[in-house]
C-alpha cells in the first residue's frame, strides 16, 4: 500500500503542477529535492510571481524511521517505527478574485520493533479560501467534493464537510479560515471499508482536485480589481497565517519536530497585512464574505 500510494502522489504532483503551469501561462515550478537525515525525503515544487499564482507549492514527501518522541506522545505509543507520505499543496493567486486553495492527501503506517504493521491510515482533504464570495464557485467546489465522496459512502460528504468546517476554524477570531471542503483523518480498515477502499476514496478525492479548482481560476483570473480589494486580500491572508501558525496541527507538528521549514512554510502567503481592528463596511462585498465565514453553510 505504501509504495502504491507514494507512486500515486508522485504522478499526481506531476499532473497538478503541469496543469497549474498551463493555467498560469508564465511561471514554472522550481523543484527542490531534499533528504531527511533520519530517513526519507521529499520533492518540493514552488511557483512564484506568475500571471495567476503569486506564490504556491505542490510538495510530496515520504519519511520513515523511528517514531519521534513528540509523535509517540501524540499517538500514545512507545517505541515504534513509522512511514508517512503525502502530497500538500497551497496556492495563493495574485488576484483577490481568485480563491486560495489548500489540499493534502496522506498515508501513515506504524510498525512494532519487528517491522510488523501495527496501524495504518489515510487522511486528507481540500478546502477553498476566497477573498470575495462568488456563490456559484462555492457550489461548484463543494459539488465536485461531494461527487468524489458519494460513490464511496453516502455519509462521507456530509461528515467530512462538517469536519472541515470544524478543523479550519480560527477560534480566536470566531470565524472559518475559508469556505471549507473536505477533511478526513485516521481512515482505518473496518468491516465496511478495507484499506483498498480507503485508497480508492482518497485517490478519487485527489483526482478531483483540478476539476474542483481550475474552472474557478479560469473564470475569475481576468476580472479587474482595485488596490482596496487587493488590501482586503492581504488582510484576509493575515487570517490564513494566523490559522496556520496558531492552530494548524500539521504546521505546528512540522515546526516542532525539525521538519523541512521551507517546505512547511511554503503555505504562507507572499504579501500580508495586519491592520488594527479592521472592519469591512456594512453591506459591502467584504462584509458579505465575513458573514459566511462566521456562519459556515452547506453549499450543495
Which residues contact a second copy (rule: CB under 8 A)?
A: 30, 32, 46, 48, 55, 57, 171-173, 234, 238, 241-242, 245-246, 252, 255-256, 261-262, 265-266, 268-277
Tally the C-alpha atoms within 13 A of residue 101's C-alpha that lie toward its C-beta: 28
Instruction: Point out the catalytic residue in the list 92, 102, 140, 142.
Output: 102
46 vs 63, which CB is nearer to a second copy? 46
Instruction: Classify the phi-psi angles of 102: left when phi > 0, otherwise alpha if psi is within -120 to 50, otherwise beta.
Output: beta
Cβ pair 131, 236 in contact under 8 A? yes
| DSSP structural state of residue 281 | P
Distance CA 267, CA 263 (A): 8
CA angle 145, 300, 19 (to 5 degrees): 35
CA 72 centroid distance within chain = 25
Identity of the residue, 65 or 270, whose beta carbon is nearer to a second copy in the bound complex: 270
* Dihedral pair phi/psi, residue 249, rounded to 5°: -60, -45
Cα 258 from Cα 78, distance rounded (Å): 20
Q: How far is the CB of 230 from a second copy (least distance, A)?
A: 12
Which residue lies nearer to a second copy by CB, 167 or 184? 167
CB of 211 to a second copy, least distance (A): 27
Residue 275 or 288 having the CB closest to a second copy: 275
Least Å from the CB of residue 260 to a second copy: 10
Neighbour tally for 219: CB within 10 Å: 15
When the beta carbons of 57 and 296 are compared against a second copy, the nearer one is: 57
Please identify which residue in the block is written with the cell numbers 478495507: 194
At 193 the three-state DSSP class reads coil
Q: How far is the CB of 29 from a second copy (least distance, A)?
A: 11
Task: Calculate ∠ Cα 226-266-276, nearest 5°.
Answer: 50
| Residue 174 CB-density burial (10 A; 0-12 exposed, 13-18 middle, 19+ buried) | exposed
Known catalytic residue at 102? yes
Task: Please give the torsion angle defined by the CA atoms of residues 67, 73, 78 and 83, in that order, rounded to the nearest 10 degrees.
Answer: -20
d(CA 106, CA 128): 19
User: At its nearest, how many Å lie between a second copy and the CB of residue 235?
Assistant: 10
* Minimum distance, C-beta of residue 172 to a second copy, in the bound complex (Å): 4
User: Which C-beta is closer to a second copy: that of 29 or that of 201?
Assistant: 29
Q: Active-site positions? A: 102
Amino acid at each position: 500500500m505504501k509504495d502504491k500510494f507514494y507512486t500515486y502522489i508522485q504522478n499526481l504532483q506531476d499532473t497538478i503542477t503541469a496543469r497549474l503551469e498551463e493555467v498560469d501561462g508564465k511561471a514554472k515550478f522550481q523543484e527542490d529535492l531534499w533528504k531527511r537525515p533520519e530517513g526519507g525525503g521529499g520533492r518540493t515544487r514552488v511557483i512564484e510571481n506568475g500571471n495567476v499564482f503569486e506564490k504556491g507549492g505542490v510538495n510530496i514527501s515520504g519519511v520513515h524511521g523511528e517514531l519521534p518522541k513528540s509523535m509517540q506522545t501524540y499517538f500514545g505509543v512507545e517505541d515504534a517505527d513509522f512511514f508517512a507520505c503525502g502530497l500538500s499543496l497551497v496556492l495563493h493567486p495574485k488576484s483577490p478574485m481568485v480563491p486560495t486553495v489548500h489540499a493534502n492527501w496522506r498515508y501513515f503506517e506504524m510498525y512494532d520493533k519487528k517491522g510488523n504493521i501495527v496501524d495504518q491510515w489515510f487522511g486528507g482533504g481540500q478546502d477553498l479560501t476566497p477573498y470575495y464570495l462568488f456563490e456559484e464557485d462555492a457550489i461548484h467546489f463543494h459539488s465536485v467534493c461531494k461527487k468524489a465522496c458519494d460513490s464511496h459512502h453516502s455519509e462521507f460528504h456530509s461528515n467530512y464537510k462538517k469536519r472541515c468546517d470544524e478543523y479550519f476554524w480560527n477560534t480566536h477570531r470566531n470565524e472559518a479560515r475559508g469556505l471549507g471542503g473536505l477533511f478526513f483523518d485516521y481512515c482505518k480498515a473496518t468491516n465496511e471499508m478495507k484499506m483498498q477502499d480507503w485508497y480508492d476514496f482518497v485517490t478519487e478525492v485527489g483526482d478531483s482536485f483540478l476539476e474542483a479548482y481550475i474552472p474557478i481560476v479560469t473564470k475569475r483570473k481576468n476580472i479587474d480589481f482595485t488596490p482596496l480589494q487587493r488590501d482586503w486580500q492581504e488582510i484576509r491572508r493575515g487570517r490564513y497565517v494566523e490559522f496556520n501558525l496558531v492552530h494548524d496541527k500539521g504546521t505546528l507538528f512540522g515546526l516542532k519536530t525539525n521538519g523541512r521549514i521551507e517546505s512547511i512554510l511554503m503555505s504562507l502567503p507572499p504579501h500580508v497585512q495586519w491592520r488594527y481592528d479592521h472592519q469591512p463596511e456594512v453591506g459591502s462585498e467584504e462584509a458579505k464574505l465575513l458573514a459566511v465565514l462566521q456562519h459556515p453553510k452547506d453549499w450543495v
